[in-house]
Amino acid sequence: MGGWQLHTLIARSISGSVWAGLDIQTGQTVAVKLFNRPPIAVAVPGTTTDHPWEFLSGLNHPGIVKILSHGCENGQHYAVMEFSTQGNLKNTLFPGQKQTIFHAVIWTRQILAALDHLHQQGYVHLDIKPENILLFPDDCVKICDFGLMRPIAAPASVPMGTPGFMSPEQIMGQSLDRRSDLFSLGAVFYRWLTGYPAFVGNSTNELLHHTLLSTPPWPSHIHPDIPQSLSHCVMRALEKRPSRRFVDASSFIQTIDESSIHGCEK
């Protein structure tokens, strides 16, 4: 395809497939996403473009995966992105295995900084989950897969997202804003700290039901070494009502920093 050779299938989802590829001109290893359908147009304030990958190419932030190129060839829409040799953070999760508090915190802070940047541009991601967080050297993490991205406060629509990480308002098909992303990241943060998902179910419907109505155990009740203040921070992000969550990503970061956990070792 174009100037890239596709080699190995990395992942497949409802939106398309991701391949490891080679930039023929530079020899650089890249990730190439092939879409099952044309990307959904999004209105970008202050510009004349409504192409989501055109918009994402201009998002220069260390916590957002770099878009190197995008286009359509023979009817196949694609996007070329920087490649992570360490894969996504779903690969680091095993039942009952938690991350160190140090890693859970620094990864969450980085994702919050990236979300803050995206939110300031007027958009929400709507699919924050370990599989959409890539790991790079020096414990750097980056958000990828913007297939569900929408303008903040977009009109209510059909439910969208990943069960177990979707916010209650996503499940109900209600209007969404930045606090929806914070709920999803709260569920990821909970998983990293405790080793267990915040919400469980024997079926998709049961999982969604528990997300709407059940409150998970506090992380500090599962692992007493987790500071109570940090545990409270996670549970606030997982509040059912958006008005009870953090108002934005920066206030989430501030509360993490005030939890006095910087002395935690790797």
Q: What's the distance, CA 25 to chain centroid?
A: 31
| Residue 97, token pair as written in the block | 């295995």
Instruction: List the alpha helices (DSSP H) in the chain.
Output: 52-57, 101-120, 168-171, 178-194, 204-213, 219-222, 228-237, 249-257
User: How many residues in the chain?
Assistant: 266
SS3 assignment, position 134: strand
Q: Measured between alpha carbons, how far is 214 from 205 in angstroms, rounded to an integer? A: 13
Neighbours of 129 (CB within 10 A): 22
Q: Which of 23, 50, 116, 127 is catalytic?
A: 127
Catalytic annotation present for 127? yes
Contacts 24+ apart (CB under 8 A), 23-30: 23/68, 23/80, 28/83, 29/83, 29/85, 30/4, 30/68, 30/80, 30/81, 30/82, 30/83
- Active-site annotation, residues: 127
